[in-house]
Amino acid sequence: MAAPGAESSSPRAPRETRPARMEALARLPVFFGLEGRRVLVAGGGEPAAWKAELLSAAGARVEVIAPAVCEDIWRLAGAPTHGPIAVHVRDWHSDDIDGAALAIGDFEDAAEAERFSAAVRAAGVPVNVIDRPALCDFTFGAIVNRSPLVVGISTDGAAPVFGQAVRAKIEALLPSGFRAWAQAAKTWRAAVTERGLSFHARRAFWERFAAKALSEPHRAPEEADRAALFAAIEIEGTAPQGRSGAGGSVVLVGAGPGDPELLTLKAVRALQSADVVLYDDLVSGAILDFARREAKKMLVGKTGYGPSCKQDDINALMVELAREGRRVVRLKGGEPMIFGRAGEEIAHCRAAGVPVEVVPGISSPQGAASRLVTSLTHRDHARRLQFVTAHARDGKLPADLDFKALSDKAATTVVYMPRRTLPDLVRNLLAAGIEPATPAVAIFSVTRPEEKVVIATVASLTEAVTRAVDAGAEGPCLVLYGHALSEVAAQDLPQAAEAARG
Residues facing residue 153 across a β-bridge? 142
Is position 160 within any domain? yes
Q: Are 74 and 51 in contact (CB under 8 A)?
A: no
- Choose the most confident range, by mean pLDDT, from 35-39, 140-144, 286-290: 35-39
d(CA 33, CA 37): 8
d(CA 49, CA 55): 10
Is position 26 within any domain? no
Residue 310 sits in a domain whose CATH number is 3.40.1010.10
280 classed as catalytic: yes
- The one catalytic residue in 51, 297, 302, 452 is 302
Is position 65 within any domain? yes
Same structural domain for residues 78 and 148? yes
Report the pLDDT averaged over residues 306-333: 87
Nearest to 274, CA basis, from 236, 322, 235: 322
SS3 237: helix
Q: Are 334 and 361 in contact (CB under 8 A)?
A: yes
Is position 103 within any domain? yes
Same structural domain for residues 466 and 484? yes
CA dihedral 95, 124, 155, 132 (to 10 degrees): 40
Find all residues with CB under 8 Å of 290, minimum gap 6, and list them: 260, 263, 267, 268, 271, 272
Last residue of a domain, one of 128, 149, 171: 171
SS3 299: strand
Same structural domain for residues 369 and 496? yes
d(CA 443, CA 497): 10
Q: How many domains does the chain have?
A: 4
Query: Residue 222 burial by CB count (10 A; 0-12/13-18/19+): exposed, middle or buried?
Result: exposed
Is residue 241 very low, low, confident or very high in pLDDT (cuts 50, 70, 90)?
Answer: very low
CA dihedral 255, 259, 263, 269 (to 10 degrees): 80
Find all residues with CB under 8 Å of 311, minimum gap 6, and list them: 7, 302, 341, 344
- The one catalytic residue in 259, 275, 280, 281 is 280
Is position 8 within any domain? no
Last residue of a domain, one of 171, 186, 217: 171
d(CA 173, CA 190): 29
How does DSSP assign 83-94, residue by residue?
S-EEEEES---G
User: What backbone phi and psi angles, to 5 degrees, belong to 50?
Assistant: -65, -40
Same structural domain for residues 45 and 116? yes
Is residue 292 very low, low, confident or very high in pLDDT (cuts 50, 70, 90)?
Answer: confident
Q: Are 317 and 328 in contact (CB under 8 A)?
A: no
Is position 29 within any domain? no
Report the pLDDT averaged over residues 180-209: 88
Q: What is the pLDDT of residues 43-81, one digit of tens each?
A: 999 999 999 999 999 999 999 999 999 999 999 999 999
Same structural domain for residues 43 and 157? yes
Same structural domain for residues 264 and 386? no
Same structural domain for residues 371 and 496? yes
Q: What DSSP element (H or E) covers 332?
A: strand 327-332
Last residue of a domain, one of 237, 260, 279: 237
pLDDT at 391: 87
Query: Residue 170 burial by CB count (10 A; 0-12/13-18/19+): exposed, middle or buried?
Result: middle
Q: Is the dihedral of CA 157, 162, 168, 172 positive or negative?
A: negative
Is residue 8 very low, low, confident or very high in pLDDT (cuts 50, 70, 90)?
Answer: very low
Total Cβ atoms within 10 A of residue 492: 5
Q: Which residue has the higher pLDDT, 262 or 243?
A: 262
Q: What is the pLDDT of residues 384-404, one digit of tens each?
A: 999 999 988 888 999 999 999
Is position 496 within any domain? yes
For residue 365, pLDDT over 80 is answered with yes
Is residue 492 very low, low, confident or very high in pLDDT (cuts 50, 70, 90)?
Answer: low
Same structural domain for residues 151 and 225? no
Does residue 240 have a cis bond before it (omega within 30 degrees)? no
Same structural domain for residues 114 and 91? yes
Q: Are 230 and 308 in contact (CB under 8 A)?
A: no
User: What backbone phi and psi angles, to 5 degrees, belong to 141?
Assistant: 75, 180
pLDDT at 501: 40
d(CA 197, CA 102): 38
Same structural domain for residues 279 and 382? no
For residue 377, pLDDT over 80 is answered with yes
Same structural domain for residues 103 and 128? yes
Residue 54 sits in a domain whose CATH number is 3.40.50.720
Is residue 202 very low, low, confident or very high in pLDDT (cuts 50, 70, 90)?
Answer: confident
Total Cβ atoms within 10 A of residue 160: 14
For residue 451, pLDDT over 80 is answered with yes
SS3 345: helix
Q: Are 481 and 458 in contact (CB under 8 A)?
A: yes
Report the pLDDT averaged over residues 156-167: 86
Q: Residue 305: which domain range? A: 243-362
Same structural domain for residues 147 and 188? no
Query: Residue 7 burial by CB count (10 A; 0-12/13-18/19+): exposed, middle or buried?
Result: middle
pLDDT at 293: 78
Looking at every residue in the chain, the average pLDDT score rounds to 87
